[in-house]
Amino acid sequence: MLYPIDTPTRTTKDLSGIWRFKVDDEKGDFTPDQVLTDSLSLAVPASFNDQVSIDAIRNHVGYFWYQTDFQLPHLIAAERKVLRFGSATHEAWVYLNGQEIGHHKGGFTPFEMDITDIAVAGNNRLTVRLSNMLDHTTLPVGNYSETTDAHGRLVRQVDENFDFYNYAGIHRPVILYTTHKHYIDDIAINPQLNEDFSKAQINIAVKTHQLDQHQVLIELFDEEDQLVASGDLNEALVIENPQLWQPMKAYLYTAKVSLKDGSDILDSYSEPFGIRSVEVKEGKFLINGKPFYFKGFGKHEDTHIHGRGLDNAANVLDIQLMKRIGANSIRTSHYPYSEEMMRLCDREGIVVIDETTGVGIMESFNFDVSILEDGNFNDATFTSLDTTAAHEQVIRELITRDKNHACVVMWSIANEAATYSPGALEYFTPLFELARELDPQKRPLTLIHIMMSNPQTDLVSSLVDVICLNRYYGWYVSHGDLDTAEAQTRGELLAWQEKYPEKPIMYTEYGADTVAGLHSMEAAPFTEEFQEDYYAMNHRVFDEFDNFVGEQLWNFADFATKIGINRVQGNKKGIFTRDRQPKMTVRSISERWNHIPNFDYKA
């Protein structure tokens, strides 16, 4: 799916702004052809939750209405018109001028609708019904239940099967764009480098809605806007001595695709792309043939007021802070991030592990991981949950959306699923096969292992190209005892290395909740000193293993979660506070990472 941009043949209209908003009381007294009365004024894009001051609305589980009006000029009457949502969390029914035009389930990927025959010149009314409900068929997974109150009214409840707040709303831009009736529908770019990187063949597949006699012209431009190759779909496009896209040193070419009828250009679209290779080989993760070392974070789309809504300023600041302390990578934990963030990572040279919404695939999710100690724990996850259809859908939509991004070097199929439970291999095998089939660049695949999934209990690690571990020795296990935690960390890494000597291993989460400003002379958990000691312990062990290829700590910044005795105003594992102020450990992390090169750290 193409990101909406203005071109010589396309126009965009951003419908962001102040919309009307109202909780659906489910009395059936509102229909989408009506004006939404008795409504609140809310900003789009943003989560609705933190924009309201009424707890009953902020924490409502069920349905919501959004509505706005927009004008269309007579000048575009003959154009094809498309309405595109960057995302709407978690399920959306879309109405234009009272008529239902689309439905989408899944809160973190884009969807669009052709409105050519419904939109009118002049005023148009756009109405959206949203649901923030999650259950055992959705991703993320939620535990859904219903009760009735004292007045007999239905009360819906969702207990998140994951550790972040269930923000909802129209989280990303709503764009109306136009094209010719014959148009470019999709572009897939797959650069292939020769052995010494002196030549790149740029393989481009173009999907069009066209008549047979139309021609597709492809032109490749460098960053100075100089034409470096051109041809049609049947010609091999080659760039001699290409500038490579490198971590922290990005270089982007542009592929301009034109759909022509003789000398007339019916549609054109320009797609940025980088040229780089990605390979897993002999226990190393190679980018452009060199061993790469991941330094960075799991993080969240989570900011004050915006919630999970797009915040471009926060994205820019986050990447600047990462670069300052020597980070080079992120994982989009635990859902696809905005297209705007992905495009920014392309431009800034930030390496991305791109993750699906496959979080919460565990029947018995909780904070007690002591159950792993007997080595025989399993549950009924793969008989009690029914997430296959949702999982297939998000893999398709994620790879369709992000396939051309140079920053994406690996797909993460799920986070902390019950891969130790019977049925896990049967569940995940077709999902890995689907991802490998869909990705034209054939990137490596992984799945993020929870602590119960260790070398003895895990059933799916044979599927992954890189062993990615979320580990909390010293926090959830052996809490506060860093000597024991160090031995446990070392022991498990030795076991993984013995089992898979050819596979790289990295940590995609490790951390300790830390309250900013809390200090102690003792080794006291929750203090800033303990957080610093905790990371120092892990790093000593990481450096002992040649096939240990990266450290992405948890978390970049404190973030919002549901209320619970394990959380005080959210998860405090950030090395930055939620408003991006540093905790003490930032200095030692910065010292370490700025002295670890991106390449050949353990060569």
What residues are labeled active site? 416, 509
Q: How far is residue 504's CA from residue 411's CA, in Å, rounded to a whole number?
A: 15
SS (H, E, C) 30-42: CCCCCCCCCCEEE
Q: How far is residue 47's CA from residue 522's CA, in Å, rounded to a whole number?
A: 41
- Treating both helix axes as pointing N-terminal to C-terminal, what angle do 528-542 and 482-499 enclose, rounded to 10 degrees? 30
Q: How far is residue 497's CA from residue 516's CA, in Å, rounded to a whole number?
A: 36
514 by DSSP, 3-state: which? strand
* Cβ atoms within 10 Å of 577's Cβ, excluding its own: 16
- Treating both helix axes as pointing N-terminal to C-terminal, what angle do 388-402 and 424-438 enclose, rounded to 10 degrees? 20
Q: How far is residue 579's CA from residue 535's CA, in Å, rounded to a whole number?
A: 22
Amino acid at 514: T
Q: Nearest Cα to 274, choosing from 302, 247, 308? A: 247
- DSSP secondary structure, 317-376, as one string: HHHHHHHHTT--EEE-TTSPPPHHHHHHHHHHT-EEEEE-S-B---TT-SS-GGGGGGS-
Could you tell me how many residues make up the chain?
603
Q: How far is residue 554's CA from residue 585's CA, in Å, rounded to a whole number?
A: 13
Q: Six-digit token pair at 329?
A: 């990578």
CA gyration radius for the chain? 25
SS (H, E, C) 40-92: EEEEECCCCHHHCCCHHHHCCCCEEEEEEEEEECHHHCCCEEEEEECCCECEE
Q: How far is residue 220's CA from residue 226's CA, in Å, rounded to a whole number?
A: 8
SS (H, E, C) 407-467: CEEEEEEEECCCCCCCCHHHHHHHHHHHHHHHCCCCCCEEEEECCCCCCCCCCCHHHCCCE
Q: Nearest Cα to 546, choosing from 597, 491, 506? A: 506
State the maximum Cα–Cα separation within the chain, in Å, rounded to a whole number.
78
Could you tell me if 328 and 294 are in contact, meaning their C-beta atoms sit under 8 angstroms apart? yes
Q: How far is residue 325's CA from residue 321's CA, in Å, rounded to a whole number?
A: 6
* Cβ atoms within 10 Å of 83's Cβ, excluding its own: 24
Q: Nearest Cα to 64, choosing from 99, 88, 85? A: 88
Q: Six-digit token pair at 345?
A: 């990572």
Q: How far is residue 24's CA from residue 254's CA, in Å, rounded to a whole number?
A: 45
Q: How far is residue 564's CA from residue 552's CA, in Å, rounded to a whole number?
A: 26
SS (H, E, C) 197-208: CCEEEEEEEEEE
* Cβ atoms within 10 Å of 75's Cβ, excluding its own: 10
Q: Beta partners for 249?
A: 246
Where do we find the tokens 């990371």? 535
Half-sphere exposure of 175 (CA within 13 A, CB side): 19
